[in-house]
Amino acid sequence: MSNATGPAGGASNTGPRLDARGMPEGAPLKEGFEITPREAKARLAEPGRLLLIDCRTKPEWDLVHVEGSVHIPLDEIEARHDEVEPDPGQQVAIICHHGVRSMKAALALRALGHPDVVSVAGGIELWSLAADPTVPRYERGPGVLRLLGR
């Protein structure tokens, strides 16, 4: 997409036009269930504010992940939910590639008794575009897992 606003406010042909929150223009945010990548990054930078769990597959995690995140794949979330032990007052946020698996994981953890769990809207893809361009973008599909050119 051409003529889009990138993470620093300049022109970018690699992603959608972002609003002031760092979300694609017009994209809704499910209040109470999602936070933006910018919010998550800011909270992660403050010790004790955020426990970031990455629910992507091991190959995705090995390819790229957010520094400071903990890896618990989506298919292991229910069996390993007892490992989700935030400090008092610490929020739990789940991240995936685009925000779909992380929402499933967040809802599963809530159902298992973890009330303060949210999904990072747009996943690591939007994190790369809006919060931290040093985190590489990648594509994933049947038989495909590769970094995108920068």
Assign residue 55 the CATH number of its domain. 3.40.250.10
Assess if residue 5 is contained within a domain.
Answer: no
- Looking from the CA of 63 toward its CB, the CA atoms found within 13 Å total 18
Q: Could you give the number of structural domains in the chain? A: 1
Q: What is the percent of the chain where pLDDT is above 90? A: 87
Helix (H) or strand (E) holding 52: strand 50-54
Nearest Cα residue to 105 out of 115, 118, 116: 118
Note whether residue 1 is domain-resident: no
Q: Count CB-CB contacts under 10 A for residue 70.
A: 13
Give the residue numbers spanning the domain of 64: 24-147
Mean pLDDT over 17-33 rounds to 93
Residue 13 lies inside a defined structural domain of this protein: no
Is 22 a residue whose pLDDT tops 50?
yes
Residue 8 lies in a domain: no
Q: Across the strands, what pairs with 4?
A: 12
Task: Please indicate, yes or no, if residue 53 is contained in any of the structural domains.
Answer: yes
Whether 14 is covered by a domain: the verdict is no
Please give the pLDDT value at position 9. 40
The mean predicted confidence, pLDDT, of the chain is 90
Burial class, 2, CB count within 10 angstroms (exposed 0-12 / middle 13-18 / buried 19+): exposed
**Whether the predicted pLDDT of 6 surpasses 80:** no
**What percentage of the chain has pLDDT greater than the value 70?**
90
In a domain, 112, yes or no: yes
Q: How confident is the model at residue 149 (pLDDT cuts 50, 70, 90)?
A: confident
